[in-house]
Structure 1
Amino acid sequence: MNQSPLLPLREELAAVTPYGAPQLEVEARLNVNENPYSPSPEMVADIAKAVARVGAGLNRYPDRDFVELRQALADYLLLECGHSFPVQHIWAANGSNEVMAQLLGAYAGPGRIVLGTEHSYSMYPEYVRGAHSRYVTVPRQSDFNVDLTVLTGALQDLRPSVLLLANPNNPTGTVITEADLKQILQVAQQTGPIIDGESTATVVVIDEAYGEFRDSGQPSALALLEKFPHLAVSRTMSKSFGMAGLRLGYLVAAKTIIYDIMRVRLPYHLSALTQAAAIAALSHASEQLDQLAQLRKRRDKLASWLAAQGYVVPKTQANFVLFGPFENRHKVFNDLLERGVLIREVGPTGFLRVSIGSEREDQAFRAALEEATK
């Protein structure tokens, strides 16, 4: 074979390694915040029927604007949080990853800044790099909550085109109160880049990938959309519906934001099979929400147990728990892995994150942690 020629890789990618959390077959895989429960047999049957129905038409392109799916998502949101949205305010893509890429494709770009916070989702810098923008983070408070003064100050000083906030935050599980969100949104109305001599808004993206796991009484940012048209709320079916393998993320925002995304989306980006499977899964929303209630109870029990062992455990409203600190978290991670339990080294120095699994997996984690740290 001839020697491969040198390829023109972008210079800024030379030191980058591909993203990838470990995918290992172990007794308890608790590292990527998956829903531990497989779809019900009834949901699987409905998905199979739906996919079979569209199979005969796969020689044709899918519905480019997937109106039926958007309506199904609207129906789900009305059930889940009581807010009604027309389909023109809803968008979907192949996972919330693609939703984020489309948002940044529309509003970021060379010479622009995207603002975030430290100790947040590890993919945000990757999204921003892909948009040829600069990612700037501000510190959180010692309890891992957002520092409102620092954040709003950075908005005014840096004039970012986009603000990325995970709520609940990954990996800490902490949330931003509605009052603080309102203040952030009010400030952000005039803190975007100056274009043709005029101030623009910073597009505030609230990433609610774990939104359905929030405590009762903690409102979704969806409640603020009518008042703040520069707000965009991102969600996913990966966690709440146990559909990580489906790759379906979605966005709720003002029609102007949806239209701007359509300027940069690739045509026919959602396959007919994905659309059919998602619609079928959404018809089982009630049973999925009942299941999430049980996961929240087990999350709270695990968090209480970890706190009782003497660990620092931030108040979490997601489907995972951050705990620590450890003098050598990598050793603890490896000791757990040797016992068949895979968790995640991520977030603040010295801390580890564990996803909520099945009852059997949760118990395996507790037993392994006790053995590894005694």
Structure 2
Amino acid sequence: MAFHPPLRDDLRGDAPYGAPQIDVPHLMNVNENPFPPSPEFIAHLQEAVGRAATGLNRYPDREFLDLRARLGAYLAADADLPAPIPAEQMWVANGSNEIMQQVFTAFGGPGRRALAFAPHYSMYPEYARNTLTEFVTEERGSAPGFELTDQMVLAGIERHDPTIVLLTSPNNPTGTALSLDLVRTAARTLEERGAILVVDEAYAEFRHAGVPSALSVLDEHPNLIVSRTMAKAFALAGARVGYMAAPRPLVDAVRVVRLPYHLSAIAQAVAHAALDFTDELLGSVAFLRQQRDELAAFLTGRGHDVAQSDSNFILFGTFADRRAVFEALLQRGVLIREVGPDGWLRVSVGSAEDNQAFRTALEEIDPA
């Protein structure tokens, strides 16, 4: 008799999350930084990991206050804050995905609700599902602006009475940034309801000059969490290091639900090494911003709708059969992403060679 695992009913039929991983010359589908680490950084990293390896018979530092302090100082510089964010207001985990999972574990659960605004990052409903949190959405504004206004957010809060609200700046997959006024309005309204606001800033380093970070108002709101990652701008997607800033009571709540010794000694060593090389690792950000704006101008010039992007990717459309366009690009060695509203595609900004290959392929399959 065949054994049927006692899988939770709400998981039956679900597939694991994951974008296609296909070996083609131009990988432009998961918003990675296309530039590998330099030999100098690799040597520094090897030395740091080697030192950490001498103590791998022991559990890692489970509070890693020195790493949290260094990340707090980095965020203060990035957001032009008057002082570093204290270590006790920082937290680190295995990618911003684990940060979000911990936040949902601490503040979600049965009988609680999380609200996001579509189109949104496709993992949000899975964080909710995994923690038995109800997940609801409201629509952002219409294409190509995909605007999110105070009125939309307040109406969604009033309609759904969520415990967690997710706002993303820049938003994935649209690339849209948020104003500080909207963040303040949402945070104040949720504070009155005993709920939290999470601003996901995974792509914040790519924002245009003058576009603010929600970190600017962190001290104003006891219910605000700002999530970041080293995967994108730091070009460390393979290292899986994400982190958050929040008032200490929220950080302490997340610490309650973390797994024992969840951040390995190797991951901590990698993060420290990256902070030693911040200028170098972030050195490609200006180039990627420029390439993003040039790609957006190219797509607009060809008559496509293009969402205004403050990230390292561009959402563009519309296509009667986006799958056919995706496949035709793939046949030419260019992998992008089918994501977002029907008819839209998303391309990550790559190297100059990647970006030119994308342009050439698109012109071949979709002559203007």
- TM-score category by the smaller chain? over 0.9
Q: 1:107 aligned to 2:107?
A: yes
The aligned residue for residue 122 of structure 2 is: 122
Report the Cα distance in structure 2 between the residues aligned to 1:231 and 1:179, rounded to whole angstroms: 14
Structure 1 residue matching 2:268: 3-state secondary structure: helix
The aligned residue for residue 27 of structure 1 is: 25
Q: CA deviation at 1:184?
A: 1.5
Contact 1:145 1:175 in 2 (8 A): no
Report the Cα distance in structure 1 between the residues aligned to 2:75 and 2:336, rounded to whole angstroms: 31
Aligned CA distance change for structure 1 residues 4 and 274 (closer, same or farther; 3 Å): farther
Report the Cα distance in structure 2 between the residues aligned to 1:174 and 1:99, rounded to whole angstroms: 22
Q: 1:336 aligned to 2:329?
A: yes
Q: CA deviation at 1:292?
A: 0.4
| Deviations 1:118-149 (CA, angstroms, capped at 9, x unpaired) | 10100000011011011110011112111431
Contact 1:28 1:341 in 2 (8 A): yes
Contact 2:191 2:222 in 1 (8 A): no
The aligned residue for residue 94 of structure 2 is: 94
Q: Which sections of structure 2, spanning at least 5 residues, go unmatched?
A: none
Paired letter, 1:80:
D
**Alignment partner for residue 51 of structure 2, among 37, 53, 61?**
53
The aligned residue for residue 230 of structure 1 is: 223
Q: What does 1:104-253 correspond to in 2, within 5 Å? A: 104-142=104-142, 143-191=145-193, 200=194, 202-253=195-246
The aligned residue for residue 11 of structure 1 is: 9
Paired letter, 2:20:
P
Structure 1 residue matching 2:314: 3-state secondary structure: strand
Contact 1:46 1:281 in 2 (8 A): no
State how many pairs are aligned: 363
Report the Cα distance in structure 2 between the residues aligned to 1:371 and 1:356, rounded to whole angstroms: 19
| Deviations 1:182-226 (CA, angstroms, capped at 9, x unpaired) | 1222222223xxxxxxxx2x2100000001001110111001110
**Alignment partner for residue 327 of structure 1, among 315, 320, 326?**
320
Paired letter, 1:24:
I
Paired letter, 1:130:
N
Paired letter, 1:242:
A
Q: CA deviation at 1:79?
A: 2.8
Paired letter, 2:67:
L
Report the Cα distance in structure 2 between the residues aligned to 1:4 and 1:55, rounded to whole angstroms: 44
Calculate the TM-score normalised by the size of structure 1: 0.95
Q: 1:275 aligned to 2:275?
A: no
Paired letter, 1:50:
A
The aligned residue for residue 34 of structure 2 is: 36
Contact 1:139 1:147 in 2 (8 A): no
Report the Cα distance in structure 1 between the residues aligned to 2:110 and 2:197, rounded to whole angstroms: 19
Moved over 6 A (4+): none
Q: CA deviation at 1:4?
A: 4.3
Calculate the TM-score normalised by the size of structure 2: 0.97
Report the Cα distance in structure 1 between the residues aligned to 2:236 and 2:67, rounded to whole angstroms: 15
Report the Cα distance in structure 2 between the residues aligned to 1:287 and 1:273, rounded to whole angstroms: 21
